[in-house]
Amino acid sequence: MATSTAARALPPASPRRRELADFLRSRRERLTPAQVGLPPGRRRRTPGLRREEVAQLASVGISWYTWLEQGRDISASAQVLDAVARALRLDASERAHLFTLAGAVDPVPRAFRFEVPDSVRAILERLDPFPASVQNLRYDLLAYNRTFGNLLCDLDALPPGDRNCMWLAFTNPDWRAAMVERRATLELMVANFRNAGSAHFDEPQWSSMVDRLRAASDEFCEIWDRHDVAAEVKPVKVFRNRFVGEVRFAAERMWLQPKYGVRMTVFSPADPETATRLTDLRALIDADRAALGRPTVPLAEVGTAHGTAVDRRSPRAGSAAPRVGTRTSRGDSTDPCTGSAVPQADSTTSRAGSAALRVGTRTSRGDSTDPCTGSAVPHADSTTSRVGSAALRVGTRTSRGDSTDPQTGTAAPSR
């Protein structure tokens, strides 16, 4: 008889099964009948719900649930685990833990949303002019600094749902034109995307991205149907920025949430020329963000001068009012006094968005020059013209408050 009992003895539970049993028991004991809509019943010897009550709420057999809490090596389907999770009122983290311990795939995957902390956003800004962004495994752009936002296209001009590197690489003309090694880059991106998504393609966010790309791009379909996989990053990335020309970077990754592939990617200049051009790009952004405009044509249609891309498109609609000495739609400037067109200066001496020659420049001793006559105008009172301001504006104010006419220089009484 003893031999027969020994033969029927259960093998010791695995560490994972023991953890699963302890976890289920702890979640059951924290619930009361009132919390799940059951009558209190007779006196209870243990806290929380009874096993048969959990089985009743989950619509599973009491024997099966008892074996599960005992750590037996039984098969648990995703549907049954889903019912148990609902019966025990598990939150998203507890539910994910249950399915992991049971070795099953959750049929209702947790909707993961990574909120970029303010501390990370501060780091992104401090990294300027180095382009930096925060992405997840699906190439969603969760945050980026100003330089990255203008590196391949104007990201701020796009709907948030389109700020995805895969989507932009196959559908956005400016982004595609900025990819110097486009075909090789696309093939590697798709291979990495398939490899990263192997555990996520049953999730709606991943499957919908694939469906959307297949509907929008024949090139994506052709590459996707190869079923290539990879897990690598190109050591040097080369882009052709539409304002400063070709730039080369080394890409460095720092993982913020490894399980979901959330990482910060920083592009550091691979050569001195790129470092200089990054500084130029940041200066353009700082000088006049609106002057960058929203791209309306691919980069191939943007003119270049001395190897540096020059945007010849008109400013974005709704931007700030035209400056004195505005730029025409073909790139020339208008004279602030006569209104006639002045041909655009060579890009090596006058960059888009730079200070150029402001209306009323300041002489070495602090006086200002009249923008039309070139004669010196005494330095205005410090209360109305500070160092570092926009220099002497058209129609300056004298120390007693009157204004000067920009053409004659005579004082006009202040109203």
- Summarised one tens digit per residue, pLDDT across range 11-50 is 556 888 889 999 999 999 998 888 888 887 677 777 788 8
Task: Tell me how far apart the terminal alpha carbons of the chain are, to the nearest angstrom.
Answer: 114
Give me the amino acid identity at 243.
F
pLDDT tens-digit series, residues 351-373: 333 333 333 344 444 454 444 44
Residue 297 binned pLDDT confidence (cut-offs 50, 70, 90): very low
Using the predicted structure, report yes or no on whether residue 299 has a pLDDT greater than 50: no
Strands 304-305 and 308-309: antiparallel
Look at residue 358 in the predicted model and tell me its pLDDT. 36
Strands 245-257 and 262-269: antiparallel
Q: How far is CA 351 from CA 48, 101, 240, 334, 346, in A?
A: 73, 61, 17, 16, 8
pLDDT tens-digit series, residues 221-267: 999 999 999 887 778 999 999 999 999 999 999 999 877 789 999 99
Look at residue 78 in the predicted model and tell me its pLDDT. 86
Neighbours of 133 (CB within 10 A): 22
**Between 126 and 204, residue with greater pLDDT:** 126
CATH topology of domain 118-287: Beta-Lactamase (3.30.450)
| Residue spans per domain, the chain | 10-102, 118-287, 357-415
DSSP string, 130-187: S-EEEE-TT-BEEEE-HHHHTTSS-GGGS-GGG-BHHHHHHH-HHHHHHBTTHHHHHH
Taking alpha carbons only, the member of 366, 382, 369 closest to residue 409 is 369
For residue 299, give every residue at least 6 positions away whose Cβ sits within 8 Å of its Cβ, in sequence order, or none.
174, 177, 178, 240, 242, 309
Give me the amino acid identity at 257.
Q
pLDDT tens-digit series, residues 126-151: 999 999 999 998 999 999 999 999 99
Using the predicted structure, report yes or no on whether residue 408 has a pLDDT greater than 70: no
For residue 364, give every residue at least 6 positions away whose Cβ sits within 8 Å of its Cβ, in sequence order, or none.
none
**Between 399 and 54, residue with greater pLDDT:** 54
Look at residue 276 in the predicted model and tell me its pLDDT. 96
Strands (E), 270-360: 304-305, 308-309, 333-334, 341-342
Radius of gyration from C-alpha coordinates of the chain: 33
Q: Identify the bridge partners of residue 132 per DSSP, sorted by sequence position.
A: 266
Using the predicted structure, report yes or no on whether residue 194 has a pLDDT greater than 90: yes
Residue 208 binned pLDDT confidence (cut-offs 50, 70, 90): confident
Structurally, at CATH architecture level, domain 10-102 sits in Orthogonal Bundle (1.10)
190-204, 294-308, 357-371: the lowest-pLDDT one: 294-308
For the chain, what is the mean pLDDT? 73
Is there a cis peptide before residue 322, judged by omega within 30 degrees of 0?
no
pLDDT tens-digit series, residues 366-400: 454 444 445 554 444 433 333 333 333 333 444 34
CA 51 to CA 62: how far, in whole Å?
7
Look at residue 309 in the predicted model and tell me its pLDDT. 33
